[in-house]
Structure 1
Amino acid sequence: MSTSPTVTLKPTGAKLPQIGFGTWKHYGEKATEAIYAGAKAGYRLFDGAADYGNEKECGEGLRRAIADGIVTRDEVFVVSKLWNTFHRKEHVREAVLRSLSDWGVSYFDVYYVHFPISLAYVAPDVRYPPGWFFDGKSQVKHDPVPLRDTWEALEQLVDEGYIKHLGVSNMASALLMDLLSYARHRPSVLQIEIHPYNAQERAVQYAHSQGLAVTAYSSFGPLGFRELDSPKALRTPALFAHPTITSIALAHGRTPAQVVLRWATQRGLAVIPKSNTEQQRQENLQSASFDLTQQEMEIIGGLNIGLRFNDPADVSARDPRTCRSSNDHWLVQDFEGCHIFS
């Protein structure tokens, strides 16, 4: 069984697995099976979110892995995220406890603010997860909640033992700088979209300078969004077929996916790629078993054009849980797949 290198989190010294298991776009029984298979393969970091609409199923997979003696709760990092509609102080606890119940755990190892964007509250008995649209169709309704209020409510849950480490996701350095000026419990991790087309060098540098670990999501660039027929992703050359990536992969006897992941982990980043097969699970987990040369790192970094695929400004005016597929059937998805790109 493969194991992942780790990244040390401040202030606790806890060891975050550098290669984690992403849960976005795992649904239903497939989510349960994916988590179980991931634990069996050696993954010890499971990155989830309320907005993914699969936490209960993911929790079932984790509980089964624990019951079968594959892992213990203390051996895994379970991660979730606060959705935008729960930013008011009176709703933060509700969101955290709901996610804990769905996962079937008593605490989260890392809990992120998913986006620094506050939306009007939608009660879970009306729609859960609520997505971006207040009416479930097209109305985006913002709610002017200061991030400080949200953060202080999360800090209380850290004090009570429900959260071990706080994190921020999709947050620019300027806002992170402001947060650090008042946070009683400083964030331990920044999670942002990073891949060779969107290297985010300055954001990574600033986060590391402030003692935050950085987790990269969407490490394979357009791939995950191509699955959702995103026009921007479909127009973007696939990283796995890019001559720069394929030539380096050939030189090392590795797959293009392993090269892309190693480019990230060699920068000190954690990664959370999604995998659907046993081969993918093993290849991703073994991606830190070789080193790229400094020249290769720079060549891959030279692909950067600041291209972001997950951008709230591109949210489409349609039901947040549905996206139109190529064969014109409605597919259940979450917001991050329901984009219109220019």
Structure 2
Amino acid sequence: MFRVMASKVPTVKFNNGQTFPIFGLGTWKSKPGEVTQAVKDAIDIGYRHIDCAHVYGNEAEVGAALKAKLADGTVKREELYITSKLWNTFHRPDLVEPALKTTLKNLGLEYLDLYLIHWPFALKEDGELFPTNADGTTAYSDVDYVDTWKAMEAVQEKGLTRSIGVSNFNKKQIERVLQNCTIKPVTNQIEVHPYLNQKKLIEYLKSKDIVVTAYSPLGSPDRPWAKPEDPQLLDDAKIKKIAGKYNKTPAQVVLKYQVQRGCITIPKSVTKSRIQQNFEIWDFNLSPEDMALIDTFDCNGRICPYVDAYTHKDHPFVNDEY
């Protein structure tokens, strides 16, 4: 399934033949001023995959860390795997390449290793990243994500990114892309954790030779819209019990759960000790019984529903079973 590379992170093989580390650092919600040090720490610890996005508003700070670590000889560019994502206001085909070039400039790179369509639905172009109508509702665009995908194929063919994929797409949307593409998506980056194990969608994607990237694998406890009464994945007594059995932390257990399922896993942290701890999952394996037990914790507990666009015709969580 995967081989271990020099930094001891196993890799997965994409359907285009490229290999990619199965573990990386997420940067969503990492504040400018914190993320540069976090990325430097991660690279020093052994991370080689950094997951970014234009909408996170911190790519220039990530780029500063990459520049520093390349300059001091810690890594070479070909040892790094950098992902970013096309935001919803840039779905119009003529905007895709300029958006990618903005990301490359911010990151200080000549190419990306992986570029994703962040969400399947398009928002109103030529303005704010979160455009609104006069009544305060989200302002939509009717650009078809299949047309956006064709523009993604063009930027890969130009060498601006080595691989292309999608994020937050449901089964029907993946099927439409596959019916209309000349380059297949290599991954679908989706929310996956024990409370939302995505078993059906993962099985479908595997059948199409599309790798799953699991975002919010720790349950995103610092998401801005969390309520005090929301269940906390890492405080779950059942997960704590499994962690005790392996002498590991709950975070290490839920991260290893995803890795053992073959999902690329991208936990976010800006705390060096946690970045280190999250990485220390290569010296144990969960038993098949414990993997099956964690599977039973699913409660359809989605934490990133993007409710502000529920009425969009291409919203992925409203119009399909999975």
User: TM-score normalized by structure 2?
Assistant: 0.91
User: Does residue 281 of structure 1 match 2:286?
Assistant: no
Of 68-77 and 287-296, the range deviating more from structure 2: 287-296
Q: Report whether the alignment pairs 1:304 with 2:309.
A: no
Distance change in 2, residues 1:222/1:158 (3 Å) = closer
Distance 1:45 1:188 in 2: 16
Amino acid in the other structure paired with 1:244: K
Supply the distance in 1 between the matched residues of 2:252 and 2:304 (Cα, whole angstroms).
22
The answer for the alignment partner of 2:238 in structure 1 is: 244
1:145 is paired with a residue whose SS is coil
Aligned to 1:58: 62
Partner of 1:148: 146
Residue equivalent to 1:112: 116
CA deviation digits over 1:213-232, x for unaligned, max 9?
A: 1110001115132xx2522x
Query: What corresponds to 2:198 in structure 1?
Result: 200
Return the alpha-carbon distance in structure 2 between the equivalents of residues 141 and 5 of structure 1. 42
In structure 1, the residue matched to 2:9 is 4
2:260 is aligned, of 257, 266, 280, to 266
Separation (CA, whole Å) in 2 of partners of 1:217 and 1:159: 27
Higher mean C-alpha deviation, range 258-267 or range 281-290? 281-290
Assess if the C-alpha contact under 8 Å between 1:133 and 1:140 holds in 2.
Answer: yes
* Residue identity matched to 1:281: I
What displacement does 1:272 show? 0.4
For residue 244 of structure 1, give the secondary structure of its aligned residue in structure 2. helix
The 3 A distance-change label for structure 1 pair 137 and 274 is: farther
1:56-82 deviation digits (Å, cap 9, x = unpaired):
111011111100111111001111000
How far residue 95 of structure 1 moved from its aligned partner, in angstroms, is: 0.5
CA distance in 2, matches of 1:174, 1:103: 33
Q: Which amino acid in structure 2 is aligned with residue 237 of structure 1?
A: P
* Aligned partner letter, 2:44: K
1:90 to 88, 94, 110: 94
Residues 39 and 84 (structure 1), Cα distance of their counterparts in 2 relative to 1, 3 Å cut: same
Whole-Å separation in 1 of the counterparts to 2:125 and 2:174: 24
Map Cα deviations across residues 79-134 of structure 1 (whole Å, 9 max, x no partner): 100000000011111101100100010111010000001111124xxxxxx33224
Offset, 1:38: 1.0
List runs of 5+ in structure 1 lacking aligned partners: 124-129, 317-342
**SS of 2:119 mapped into structure 1:** coil
Tell me how far apart the structure 1 counterparts of residues 174 and 232 of structure 2 sit (CA, whole Å).
Answer: 31
2:146·2:176 contact (CA, 8 Å) conserved in 1? no
- State the match for 2:318 in structure 1: none
Structure 2: which 5+ residue stretches go unaligned? 1-5, 311-322
Aligned-residue CA RMSD in angstroms? Answer: 1.8
SS in 2 for 1:78: strand
Corresponding residue number in structure 2 for 1:81? 85
Using the TM superposition, name which of 106-115 and 290-299 deviates more: 290-299
Q: What's the secondary structure of 1:61's corresponding residue?
A: helix
C-alpha separation in 2, matches of 1:65 and 1:273: 21
Residue in structure 2 matched with residue 321 of structure 1 by the alignment? none
- Which of 32, 48, 52 is 1:28 aligned to? 32
Check conservation: 1:2, 1:282, Cα contact below 8 A: no
C-alpha change, 1:22 and 1:81, in structure 2 (3 Å) is: same
**1:265·1:288 contact (CA, 8 Å) conserved in 2?**
no
Asked if the contact 1:2–1:286 (Cα under 8 Å) also holds between the matched residues in 2, the reply is no
**2:176 equivalent to 1:178:** yes
Aligned residues with identical type, % of pairs: 34
C-alpha distance in 1 between matches for 2:302 and 2:254: 16
Q: Which deviates further from its counterpart, 134-143 or 69-78?
A: 134-143
Match of 1:16 among 12, 15, 20: 20
CA distance in structure 2 between the partners assigned to 1:305 and 1:136 by the alignment: 37
The CA deviation at 1:315 is 6.5
